[in-house]
Structure formats: structure tokens, C-alpha cells
Amino acid sequence: MDEADIAAERIEREMASLLALRRHTGPAPTGACLWCGEPLAPSLRWCSAECRDDWERKHARAHRR
């Protein structure tokens, strides 16, 4: 793989995580990251997949045994 392939793959992965952020069902977007409070576009709920994952981990505990 050359550098362009690596970059393209990284972009693809980031796009996938952004789509996952959008598709996630849950609380309504507030204009700020629900996990760290970072200001965001009004349609987003988390600034990154990491914040979403941390948030989900915390909130999943109530649903999982």
C-alpha cells in the first residue's frame, strides 16, 4: 500500500465513524458533545467516536447485566 491508499483508508474509516455517530439512536443533539461538552454542529451529539464510545459505555451499563 502506498501513502495515498493509507490516507484513503483512514478517511474511509473516519467517514464510517461519523456515519455511525449520525445513525446512533439516543438523546437529541444539543449543539455540544454529550461527553466532553465540546461545541459542535447542531446535528451532532459527539465530537468523536471516542466520546461516543465512552458515553455509550457509561449509558450501556444500565441496560446490560
35 binds Zn ion (CB under 5 A): yes
Stretch that binds Zn ion, among 1-9, 14-22, 30-38, 55-63 (CB under 5 A): 30-38
Phi/psi at 32 (5° precision): -140, 155
Neighbours of 43 (CB within 10 A): 9
Of 9, 12, 14, 38, the one binding Zn ion by CB under 5 A: 38
Choice from 11, 15, 36, 60 touching Zn ion (CB under 5 A)? 36
27 touches Zn ion by CB under 5 A:
no
DSSP character string of 27-60: SPP-SB-TTT--B--TT-S-SSHHHHHHHHHHHH
Per rule CB under 5 A, count of chain residues that contact Zn ion:
6
**Interacting residues toward Zn ion by CB under 5 A:** 33, 35-36, 38, 47, 51
